[in-house]
Amino acid sequence: MNCDSSITKIKGVGEKTAELFSKMGVYTVGDILLRFPRDYFSYPTISTFPMEDGLNEGYRAILAPVSQRPRTQFYGGKSITTLAIGDEALQVQLTWFNSKFMEKTLIPGKRYVFFGKVFYKNGRWTMAQPKCMKPEEYRDLEGRLEPIYSLTEGMHNRTIIKAVKSVLAGEVLLSDYLPKDIREEQSLAEYNYAIKQIHFPDDMDALVRARRRLVFDEFFLFIMGMQYQKERQQKEANGFSFCDFDVIDQIMKTLPYPLTGAQKRTIMEIQKDMSGPYRMQRLVQGDVGSGKTIVAFLMMAWTSLSGYQSAIMAPTEVLARQHYESFTRMVEQFSLDTEVILLTGSMTQKEKRIAYERLQTVPNAMVVGTHALIQEKSIFSELALVITDEQHRFGVKQRDTFSEKGKKPHILVMSATPIPRTLAIILYGDLDISVIDEVPAKRLPIKNCVVNTSYREKAYSFIREQVEMGHQAYVICPLVEETENLDAENVEEYSRMLRKYYGGSISVGMLHGKMKNDEKNRVMEQFARNEIQVLVSTTVVEVGVNVPNATVMMIENADRFGLAQLHQLRGRVGRGDVQSYCIMINTSPSKNAAKRLEILNRSNDGFFIAAEDLKLRGPGDFFGIRQSGDLAFQIADIYQDSDVLTEASGVVHDILSADPGLEQENHLALHRRMEQFQETQLRKMNL
Ligand code: ADP
Ligand code: MG
């Protein structure tokens, strides 16, 4: 058995278990070792009587003598065996079901450790189904941390524990791929030690050391993979020549609003890239509502005026159509000699054919679409600029396929993911970065409130007032239709209810992912034209949708959404220069839910929210960003472990500047491991 062996080679893992493992993305012996516990259970220290501080509910280990034999009583076919331990001040009732043999197991006069869950019920302390051990037996467990793994349906924690133990006992581990001098310099634990300890830690210190090593590995391999490729990739020459930027400066002057300083700076950086000697690969980061779309439009317009085609790819149909409409309007408004072409999956064959034809005949067209269609080959005559909007919604691979089109076009990716700039530089090592860290001046901060369900009526009449002033509102529900086992609002019923409530004076529309694409488009267009005033929707409006006339975002069951998601949803309002409002209905009694929503209530700043969310949830928890395609880390956390991230980045730099090809003898193992890591990452993304 080695790391590449199938998991069926592990003792006790049969076809059925293997199938469950495969659902978790575990196929080989190596995979199982690299699937770390999500948490640990720790065996408590022994308590004895008298207990000065009393007892608390939870798992306890109590050392006590047995003074009499346990007694068993029968109920129907079942039996319950009980025994009391303790002193005058505190008694604990031990109970076992269908375990008459306990009468013989426990010998009066002897001392045992009773381990189990303690709770207070009917006026007394009870420990149900305790395990009984000799004191020296328990001493072995005391303070020990047992792994808790994330599971898939049908899989048990103990099955994974057994499998991992069996692999570790087989000593199949590879040798450490990190050169010894680096390990020592960074005071990192040895690899095999770290793997063993992350699964079965000797104690807390060992766990911390193991974790630090494995966090380092994740960052190190990720950054190494990226930088290695970057070194390999020769800077590619810029194959296009652009016209004077004055034409765009002119347009900028006639915009209905002045651009922010951050927008102007970003535009200048892009312009410099595109007219420079090399192909551009740039990331534009900017919080929701910071105005990324106009930047994209201006750069595409410049490309058109220079005689080339450009394309922008959006993650949803709704967003693609919206860009298409606003770009078409602007092309007309600025009398640009070009054409905007839409390409999306929901178009009919005939519409698509016409679009392809236009692409062939308009050499400087601006193309707007979803990724599915833009991925098709050879449709562009001369593509000079490719933009990915909301790039955090796409995986790395998709970005790459897209960039292979035509004659190596310039690449611009736009993202609203709030990562501090220093981290972004490390994580997106292959991209240059512009940050739009300023919101348009005239914009008023959104007014927020978090309320309970008794506020609903007030919210509806507030929405009515806003609509009477000419504005519009979104109402977000977590569900599409009623479901049996989830007590949350659904779009279908909610829109029926609101329609009745407003009695025809206000037009209420509905939008969700189960609707047909053309139906969705129709509703979105009606909302954009203010023919629908209140749009009841699922989170399909979450990304990018821009209807500046909407001033109210009401979110039902707000406690069911992640903070990052709520922040994106809220970003749908506050896009014009009138006051906007976000009403979050909290339906959860939990204190934690209230605390989380309070963060949003206090701030409209994506970076602040991300950081607070982390503090509240604590390490080991997920903030949305960690699940996004680009940053698929298992235990590393870019916020909590930012110091390790910086160290790893430094080490990568040192190694690559001494050995750019990773060809030195002592780097060969590392080279192999890096390639392996990249394969796993790609596999994960395709899961
Ligand atoms: P995002 O960065 O979230 O993609 P958008 O590009 O959709 O944001 O812009 C949000 C809104 O702000 C749009 O209605 C847009 O017209 C407007 N906008 C963009 N830049 C400015 C600016 N400098 N001043 C005022 N409004 C702006
Ligand atoms: Mg946008």
Render pLDDT for 12-25 as a digit per residue (tens, 0 to 9): 899 999 999 998 88
Using the predicted structure, report yes or no on whether residue 401 has a pLDDT greater than 80.
no
CB 544 within 8 A of CB 556: no
CB 116 within 8 A of CB 127: yes
Residues 6+ apart with CB under 8 A from 429: 223, 226, 227, 230
In the chain, what percentage of residues exceed pLDDT 90?
Answer: 55
- Phi, then psi, of 634 in degrees rounded to 5: -85, -55
Distance CA(632)–CA(621), nearest Å, equals 14
CB 515 within 8 A of CB 317: no
Q: What separation in angstroms does the CA of 514 have from each of 112, 347, 520? A: 60, 17, 9
pLDDT digits (tens, 9 = 90+) for 97-138: 999 999 999 999 999 999 999 999 888 999 999 999 999 999
Q: Is 294 in the pocket of ligand 1 (CB under 6 A)?
A: yes
| E strand or H helix that includes residue 361 | helix 349-361
Q: Is 288 in the pocket of ligand 1 (CB under 6 A)?
A: yes
Q: Is 292 in the pocket of ligand 1 (CB under 6 A)?
A: yes
- Ramachandran quadrant class, 98 (left: phi over 0; alpha: psi -120 to 50; beta: rest): left
> In this predicted structure, what is the pLDDT of residue 687?
43
| Res. 532 pLDDT band, cuts 50 70 90 | very high
User: Would you give the DSSP letter of residue 521?
Assistant: H
**40: nearest Cα among 146, 135, 152, 126:** 146
Q: Is 606 in the pocket of ligand 1 (CB under 6 A)?
A: no
Q: What separation in angstroms does the CA of 214 have from each of 187, 197, 637, 644, 666? A: 13, 11, 11, 10, 20
Average the pLDDT over 1-13 and give the result. 87
Using the predicted structure, report yes or no on whether residue 395 has a pLDDT greater than 50.
no
Ranges assigned E (strand) in 338-460? 340-343, 366-370, 383-388, 410-415, 432-436, 447-451
DSSP letters for 533-557: SEEEE-GGGTTT---TTEEEEEETT
Which is more confidently placed, 405 or 128?
A: 128
Q: What ligand 1 atom has the least distance to the C-alpha of 258?
A: 23
> In this predicted structure, what is the pLDDT of residue 226?
79
Which is more confidently placed, 372 or 24?
A: 24
CB 170 within 8 A of CB 1: yes
Tokens linked to 437: 């860290």
Q: Is 375 in the pocket of ligand 1 (CB under 6 A)?
A: no
Distance CA(503)–CA(354), nearest Å, equals 43
Using the predicted structure, report yes or no on whether residue 148 has a pLDDT greater than 50.
yes
> In this predicted structure, what is the pLDDT of residue 188?
96
Q: Of the residues 265, 284, 293, which should be mutated to test ligand 1's pocket, given the most ligand atoms within 8 Å of the CB?
A: 293
User: Which residues are paired to 281 by β-bridges?
Assistant: 411
Distance CA(268)–CA(434), nearest Å, equals 10
With b meaning 16 or more CB within 10 Å and e meaning fewer, what string describes 450-469?
bbeeeeeeebbebbbebbee
Tokens linked to 431: 């991209």
Residues 6+ apart with CB under 8 A from 16: none
Distance CA(62)–CA(418), nearest Å, equals 48
Q: Is the four-CA dihedral 392, 394, 395, 399 of positive or negative sign? A: negative
| Res. 538 pLDDT band, cuts 50 70 90 | very high
Distance CA(148)–CA(502), nearest Å, equals 51
Q: Which of 25-34, 61-70, 549-558 has the lowest mean pLDDT?
A: 25-34
Tokens linked to 651: 């080490």
pLDDT digits (tens, 9 = 90+) for 422-445: 667 776 777 888 989 888 888 889
Q: Is the four-CA dihedral 64, 70, 74, 77 of positive or negative sign? A: positive
Looking only at Cα atoms, what is the longest distance across the chain?
Answer: 98
Residues 6+ apart with CB under 8 A from 18: 6, 7, 8
**Which one of 414-418, 541-545, 648-652 scores highest in mean pLDDT?**
648-652
Nearest-5° angle of CA 203, CA 206, CA 210? 140
3-state SS class at 318: helix
Q: Of the residues 251, 257, 326, which should be mutated to test ligand 1's pocket, given the most ligand atoms within 8 Å of the CB?
A: 257
Q: Which of 33-42, 242-251, 526-535 has the lowest mean pLDDT?
A: 33-42
Q: What ligand 1 atom has the least distance to the C-alpha of 293?
A: 6
Q: Is 546 in the pocket of ligand 1 (CB under 6 A)?
A: yes
For ligand 1, atom 18, name the residue with the nearest CA.
291
Distance CA(651)–CA(122), nearest Å, equals 60
Amino acid at 672: R
Q: Is 298 in the pocket of ligand 1 (CB under 6 A)?
A: no
Q: Which of 230-244, 543-557, 606-620, 658-672 has the lowest mean pLDDT?
A: 606-620
> In this predicted structure, what is the pLDDT of residue 630?
43
Q: Of the residues 259, 288, 294, 325, which should be mutated to test ligand 1's pocket, given the most ligand atoms within 8 Å of the CB?
A: 294
Tokens linked to 405: 């089109």
pLDDT digits (tens, 9 = 90+) for 603-636: 888 878 877 776 665 433 333 333 333 455 778 8
Amino acid at 184: E
Which residue in this structure is represented by tokens 């959404």?
561
Distance CA(373)–CA(321), nearest Å, equals 14
Q: Compute the residue count for the chain.
A: 687
Task: Output the CA 540–ligand 2 centroid distance in Å.
Answer: 14
pLDDT digits (tens, 9 = 90+) for 179-197: 999 999 999 999 999 999 9
CB 310 within 8 A of CB 300: yes
Mean pLDDT taken over the chain: 87
Residue 303 burial (10 A CB sphere; 0-12, 13-18, 19+): buried
Distance CA(544)–CA(76), nearest Å, equals 64
Average the pLDDT over 585-611 and give the result. 87
pTM over cut 0.95: no
Q: What separation in angstroms does the CA of 9 have from each of 6, 12, 27, 163? A: 6, 9, 11, 10
Using the predicted structure, report yes or no on whether residue 511 has a pLDDT greater than 90.
yes
Q: What ligand 1 atom has the least distance to the C-alpha of 576?
A: 14
3-state SS class at 570: helix
> In this predicted structure, what is the pLDDT of residue 678?
78
> In this predicted structure, what is the pLDDT of residue 542?
72
Pairing mode of beta strands 281-286, 309-314: unpaired
Residues 6+ apart with CB under 8 A from 360: 381
Using the predicted structure, report yes or no on whether residue 685 has a pLDDT greater than 60.
no
User: Which residues are paired to 342 by β-bridges?
Assistant: 368
What is the 3-state secondary structure of 57-123? CEEEEEEEECCCCCEEEEECCEEEEEEEEECCCCEEEEEEECCCCHHHHCCCCCEEEEEEEEEEECC
Tokens linked to 627: 């699940």
**203: nearest Cα among 139, 144, 138, 137:** 144
